[in-house]
Amino acid sequence: MQKITRATKIFFLILLIIFTSQRAWAIDKEAGPKVSLRPPLEYDAGKERDPFGDAPQSEKSSGLDGQAATQALPLPSFNIQGLLWGGRLPQAIINGKVVKVGDVIEGAQITEIKKEGIVLFYDNRNYTLRSPAIVKFENMQNKSQGGQDEKRH
């Protein structure tokens, strides 16, 4: 009788594992998507307000005047004096203060500092303050175009 070596046993074990895993994969693939057998649920708020529906009119206004609650607060004045946006820690100089992402200035949180400008979150809204370099470039273009048009007339 031939003696089966340890290497041969390992080889056949690996083949067995590969064959059974491929067979199991093929069976799962043929079975298709699994379907949940749970019954559908319906939400019934009863006497309570439906949290997924519209709020009643009394909850929509938080002050004496309903329009005052929907009007946005005016954005404070921000003077961007510089941007450092390309490195690991983007920073900006706003109103003479060095700030980074996450800092709060004049009640507005800085969420992003990038080449195009700064994104602020203020009064539950996002605002984008454009880079002073981009604004200056656009103003120069507008002036040069306006100057040429004025000379033609």
Instruction: Give me the pLDDT at residue 153, please.
Output: 42
On whether residue 40 sits in a domain, the answer given is: no
Question: How far is the C-alpha of 119 from the C-alpha of 109, rounded, in Å?
Answer: 9
In a domain? residue 115: yes
Cα 53 to Cα 43, 47, 59: the distances in Å are 12, 14, 12
Angle at 96 between CA 90 and CA 100, to 5 degrees: 20
Domain encompassing residue 131: 76-136
**79-113 confidence digits (pLDDT tens):** 999 898 888 899 999 999 999 999 999 999 999 99
Q: Is residue 60 part of a domain?
A: no
Phi and psi (nearest 5°) for 126? -95, 135
Q: Is residue 15 part of a domain?
A: no
| Dist. CA 25–CA 73, nearest whole Å | 59
Please check whether residue 55 lies inside any domain of the structure.
no
pLDDT of residue 137: 83
Global pTM reads 0.47
Lowest mean pLDDT among 4-18, 84-98, 127-141: 4-18
Residue 132 included in any domain: yes
How does the average pLDDT of the chain come out, rounded? 75
Tokens, residue 27:
């069976």
* CA angle (64, 66, 68) in 5-degree steps: 85
Tell me whether residue 13 is in a domain.
no
- Find the CATH number of the domain harbouring 128: 2.30.30.830
pLDDT score of 35: 56
pLDDT digits 0-9 by tens, 48-84: 766 666 655 544 444 444 444 567 788 999 999 989 8
Split into its structural domains, the chain has a count of: 1
Q: Is residue 38 part of a domain?
A: no
More confident residue, 63 or 43: 43
CB 82 within 8 Å of CB 92: yes
In degrees to the nearest 10, what's the CA dihedral of 63, 67, 69, 74? -130
